[in-house]
Chain A
Amino acid sequence: MKKRFNVLLLAAILVLSFALSACSSSSSDNKSTEATKGTEATKSTEAPKPADKLIKVGVVNNPPSESGYREANVKDMEAVFSKDNGYELKTAYSLKNDEQLQAAQGFITDGVEYLLISAAETTGWDEVLKKAKEAGIKVYLFDRMIDVSEDLYEAAVVSDMAKEGDTAVQWLLDQKLDEYNVIHIQGAMGSDAQIGRTGALDKQFESGKMNKVVQQTATWDEAEAKKIVETVINSGKDFNVIYAENDGMAKGAVAALDEAGIKHGVGEKVIVMGFDCNKWALRELLAQKWNYDGQCSPFQAQIISDIIQGKKTVTDKKIINEEKGFDAKTLTQADIDTYGLGE
């Protein structure tokens, strides 16, 4: 009897949770449509002059919770496509391709003028983009490419991960060390960032310009990176460069150096290199404890805005976003405020 009651209770909870989740998703939908309605209403009341007409932009993106990169990316979009800059921005965030497709569909029916997409998956976008073209909506891709024919979009502003690695390795070569003994800590194997950042360094290992002391993946895990560096220190092998494929792992590596009393940073024995340009990492650079931080730039909004406003013309549809790399010797507080991610 009691068991049956428990089963019933469980079923009730399941149903309730489904209902709640359905509710929450639909309520958020409502919210977004309400919000857009709200902006439309305010627009109609406060924009009697046609000169003040806002450019309607729909952005389909991944949610800011995905990563520090995405958080900065979303904030940048919101800052550039603001009302003050003459835009009316509608946003939809999802990690799922089908939800993104629905959102894009919704923006097309809403009658946006420009559609900006960072797709969750590279496939399945043909239909929607064709519809957008029929409706006269101009499509821009940012951050990620989509597998469609080039005439379905105006331009794609993307990062070149390989170039990012090359920039960092070129910086390292410019340091003109007598010897390069590198501890290479990799990210999750197979991710875009890992492949790009590893590729450039691998070329140097192959050509013999740099010596590989160790090359291990810490799967973006700070603590694992620390263990790897500790093991190298324990083995007594000599090294003078730490090339970590993100800031967190560089911090883990530095923790191991600190514990062993090995000096690092500008003018010291070990050069520390990280990626991502988190604000806290850039502060380490400013304190001269690290030497270099590379960034896969999340700032594509200004380029797209410039194209929309006719300030920039598109010659090649694939626009490679300029990658930044910061040297501790030249970094300023202003750079941290503008380009740093997070807090």
Chain B
Amino acid sequence: MSKKAAKKGFTAGLGQLTIPLVAIAILVIFNLIRDPSFFSIEIKHNIDGNSVLAGNLITVINGASELAILAMGMTLVTAACGGQDISVGAAAAIAGSVFVKVLKSGASINAGTVILAFLLACIVAMIFGAFNGTLVAVFNIQPMIATLILYTCGRSIAYWINGGATPTVDSGIVKAIGGFIPGVPIPTPVIIVVVMAIIFKLLFHFTSLELLTQSVGINGSAARLNGINPTFIKLLSFIILGVCVSVAGCIGVGRLGLINHETLLLDVEMDTILAVAIGGNNLGGGKFKILGSIIGAYVIQTLTITLYAMNVSSTDVKAYKAIVIILLVVIGSPVVKKKFEKFMAGRASKKAASEAKGA
């Protein structure tokens, strides 16, 4: 009996990850058939003479870094509040602008100033996260409406910080954040994603945050009756997302050594929410799996890079992307899932019946 339950738990757990894993498998197989060299990885020497890994696979994994980091935080917000933060792109622009502002105000850029700049960017992003969180947790405003405020004005705030134009930062350390650390062939953003994932894992392992978040998401009043403070948990989820936002913003700045408040992580909020949805998380809150969202982020990025590699005309890219995403979301929807389960159960019982007859 217990074995059966464990097995059921296992399949249920995998159940959430089935869709994103199947999606990524299909994309991989499609690309292998289309062009077997798609996944070749080479070692190239960049302009500074370092040997670095290169290839489409690296481009996908590297390019999805910001999305993956944002998706981790977004999963937590989604689970706790049953809604999404649509201001992550704008908030990342603010965090990135603060990062650049601090770097530029110092006389020279060294490891100390970079860390200071990052911490300040973090604090600012956490404050904006807390602002969103207060609107949602204290005033019970729908998350999408509450974050619409920052979505609308965020990039203007980012503009004020640096006074327009596109300030550039010329520094080896900043370049290393978005590119490669000398002597390390793996892109730094990928390393940062791994570190962030480990931090989340440890956070869930050593605290009961995961359980608390789920219980608040499933039923806030019931959670309160059990001595959990839903307001605090919701607020906390937004503040944690703030940290993710500032990390993503700083990577974005590091990639090119420049901040363009209008285009930094443009439209990333929708991709982030999609990543959470593709990851099989319930957008209405409750149970969640951060791993699903991370895989979801890589699905989206693989799709984009595949379309680029196929040289799809620029006006058509979004339409193709939409078709694939509709398919993924519909297949992952509870209605289809239930139908599928019923179908499978029906087949199993039929099989059992025929076996019984045969015996």
Assuming the A-B contacts A220-B262, A252-B256, A259-B179, are A342 and B164 also in contact, with contact meaning beta carbons closer than 8 angstroms in the complex?
Answer: yes
Q: What is the predominant secondary structure among interface residues of chain A facing chain B?
A: helix
Question: Does A189 lie at the interface of the complex (its beta carbon under 8 Å from any beta carbon of B)?
Answer: yes
> Given A231-B59, A233-B54, A342-B165, are A223 and B255 also a contact pair (CB < 8 Å)?
yes
Asked whether any CB of chain A lies closer than 8 Å to the CB of B344, the reply is no
Interface residue total, chain B, C-beta cutoff 8 A = 43
Whole-angstrom distance from the CB of B43 to the nearest CB of chain A?
11
User: Cα distance A252–B304 when bound, in Å?
Assistant: 17
Q: Give A226-250 as 1s and 0s: 1 = Cβ < 8 Å from B's Cβ atoms.
A: 1110110111100000000001100
Q: Is B140 part of the binding interface, using a Cβ–Cβ cutoff of 8 Å?
A: yes
Interface residues in A175-221 (C-beta closer than 8 Å to B): 186, 189, 214-217, 219-221
The answer, among A3, A215, A233, A236, for a CB contact under 8 Å with B313, is A215
Interface residues of B in 41-70 (CB under 8 A from A): 44-47, 52, 54-56, 59, 63
Question: Could you list 15 further interchain pairs (A-B, Cβ under 8 angstroms) beyond the known A248-B260, A259-B54?
Answer: A186-B314, A214-B311, A223-B63, A226-B255, A230-B59, A235-B309, A248-B166, A257-B47, A260-B44, A260-B46, A280-B166, A280-B168, A342-B165, A343-B165, A343-B167
Q: Find A228's partner among B44, B56, B166, B308 (CB 8 Å cutoff).
A: B308
- Give which listed residue, A189, A234, A257, A341, contacts B55 with CB less than 8 A: A234
- CB neighbours (8 Å) of B309 from chain A are 231, 234-235
Q: A6-B140, A248-B263, A259-B179 are in contact. Are A234 and B54 (CB under 8 A)?
A: yes
Binary flags per residue of B136-166, CB closer than 8 Å to A gives 1, else 0: 0011110000000000000010010000111
Q: Give the bracket for the number of chain A residues in contact with chain B.
A: 35 or more
Hey, what's the 0/1 contact readout for B304-321 against A, CB within 8 Å counting as 1?
110011010111010000
Residues of A within 8 A of B37 (CB): 236
A-chain residues with CB within 8 Å of residue B315 when the two chains form the complex: 189, 217
Taking a contact as CB atoms closer than 8 A, the residue among B52, B140, B141, B305 that contacts A231 in the complex is: B305
| B55 nearest CB neighbor, chain A only | A234
- Whether the Cβ atoms of B305 and A261 lie closer than 8 Å is no
Q: Which are the 7 A-B pairs with shortest beta-carbon distances?
A: A342-B165, A217-B314, A258-B47, A231-B308, A221-B263, A280-B168, A216-B314
Query: A65 contacts which of B164, B168, B313 (Cβ < 8 Å)?
Result: B164
Chain A residues near B168: list those with CB within 8 A. Answer: 280
Chain A contacts for B314, CB-based, 8 A: 186, 189, 215-217
The answer to whether B44 and A261 touch across the interface, beta carbons within 8 angstroms, is yes
Select from chain B the residue with minimum beta-carbon distance to A256.
B59
Binding site for B on A (CB under 8 A): 3, 6, 9-10, 64-65, 67-68, 71, 186, 189, 214-217, 219-223, 226-228, 230-231, 233-236, 247-248, 251-252, 255, 257-261, 278, 280, 341-343
In this assembly, does B266 line the interface, its C-beta being within 8 Å of a C-beta of chain A?
yes
B258 beta carbon closer than 8 Å to chain A: yes
Does the CB pair A255–B166 fall under 8 Å? no
Determine whether the beta carbon of B56 is less than 8 Å from that of A71.
no
A9 touches B258 (CB 8 A): no
Q: Is A64 a contact partner of B305 (Cβ separation < 8 A)?
A: no
Residues of A contacting B220 in the complex (Cβ-Cβ under 8 angstroms): none
Cβ-defined contact, A223 with B46, below 8 A: no
Q: Which of B146-203 contact A (CB under 8 A)?
A: 156, 159, 164-168, 179-180
Contact of B166 among A68, A223, A226, A234 (CB under 8 A): A68
Q: How far is the CA of A162 from the CA of B255 in the complex (A)?
A: 32
* B residues in contact with A186, CB < 8 Å: 314
Q: Is B217 an interface residue (CB 8 A)?
A: no
| Distance to closest chain A CB from B181 (angstroms) | 13
A138 to B350, CA, bound (A): 88
List 30 A–B pairs whose Cβ atoms lie within 8 Å, in order of A's numbering.
A10-B139, A65-B159, A67-B262, A68-B166, A71-B165, A186-B314, A189-B315, A215-B313, A217-B315, A217-B317, A220-B263, A221-B263, A221-B266, A222-B263, A223-B252, A223-B256, A226-B255, A227-B59, A227-B305, A230-B59, A231-B56, A234-B309, A248-B166, A248-B256, A248-B258, A251-B258, A258-B47, A342-B164, A342-B165, A343-B167
Residue ID in chain B nearest A257 by CB atoms: B47
A342: chain B residues at CB < 8 Å are 164-167
- From the candidates A9, A234, A280, A343, name the one contacting B56 in the complex (CB within 8 A): A234
Residues on A with beta carbons closer than 8 Å to the beta carbon of B54 = 233-234, 259-260
Q: Which residue in A226, A230, A258 is a CB contact (below 8 Å) of B46?
A: A258
Contact: B258 with A341, CB < 8 Å?
no
The distance in angstroms between the C-alpha atoms of A227 and B61, with both chains bound, is 11
B167: chain A residues at CB < 8 Å are: 342-343
